[in-house]
Amino acid sequence: MIVFDDVDAWRQHRCDQTRAALTLGFVPTMGALHEGHLSLVRRSRRENDRTLVSIFVNPTQFNDPADLARYPRPLTDDLNLLRAEQVDFVLLPEETRLYTDGYRYRVSELYVSKELEGAKRPGHFDGVLTVVLKLLHIASADRMYLGEKDWQQLTLIRGMATAFFLPTAIVACPTVRASDDLALSSRNVLLDAREREKAPKFYRALTSAPSAEIARQDLRAAGFVVDYVEDRDGRRFGAVCLGRVRLIDNVPLERTE
Ligand code: AMP
């Protein structure tokens, strides 16, 4: 496994690979890796000659500085996990190199990005789309692997790829859950034991309530602070806080009873 912290060294390396006609799968992450990330990595390994994983905690997508400061960064563990998965390349870009423009240039979407997560986290999707566009150009991959856990993000990145004629194919991967159905997330490690015990009620409320309104009521009764639960385009989307930890999830509506 080759670890690049120099974007330009990686780009040179990628040029050599393109000349050798090797296909590349790309998995962008913010680290604190878990089985959800690894499912993307495994799919990329199956479908491409080489796999690149990036780890970058992107400051422009955090609207809450405390959330950014708390975000887990277990880099040594992450690299060990990726080595065990036989990942070929890891990119650890520096913030100053990614944002040479000081974030003067950014990608904005005007409608979907203002709803749900975007309504609660102003500017979040500008940060996501901007960093993903940069990373897509740097990676120069054939395919990029994204999780359905972040459905709205997936929708927006797909839309950007179409709008700007980006050559990388976007591959969506199903949400990986713990045995109690809590969606795996890097933030789950921040839950204390009691919060962790309560957390699976989030998925249960999303899937079992007959309406979004009842799901909201059930979650409040169970002690969650509800940011939103809303039904859109055949899916139910939710975001809640348990203590200081914010959880998001989404499920197809046919799974609700
Ligand atoms: P993150 O490190 O949170 O930015 O996530 C990196 C990628 O992993 C994104 O495409 C996420 O949607 C995806 N991902 C995160 N959690 C899961 C999960 N539980 N199942 C599947 N994909 C996930």
Q: What is the pTM of this model?
A: 0.97
Ligand 1 neighbour 172 (Cβ under 6 A) = no
Angle at which helix 151-163 crosses helix 124-139, to 10 degrees, equals 60
Tell how far CA 144 is from the center of its chain.
12
Ligand 1 neighbour 150 (Cβ under 6 A) = yes
Per-residue pLDDT of the chain (257 residues; tens, 9 = 90+): 999 999 999 999 999 888 789 999 999 999 999 999 999 999 999 999 999 999 999 999 999 999 999 999 999 999 999 999 999 999 999 999 999 999 999 999 999 999 999 999 999 999 999 999 999 999 999 999 999 999 999 999 999 999 999 999 999 999 999 999 999 999 999 999 999 999 999 999 999 999 999 999 999 999 999 999 999 999 999 999 999 999 999 999 985 55
Angle at which helix 124-139 crosses helix 7-19, to 10 degrees, equals 50
Ligand 1 neighbour 124 (Cβ under 6 A) = no
**Residue 27 C-alpha to ligand 1 middle, in angstroms?**
9
Pocket test for ligand 1, best of 41, 70, 150 (most atoms within 8 A of CB): 150
Q: Which two tokens stand for residue 244?
A: 């200081």
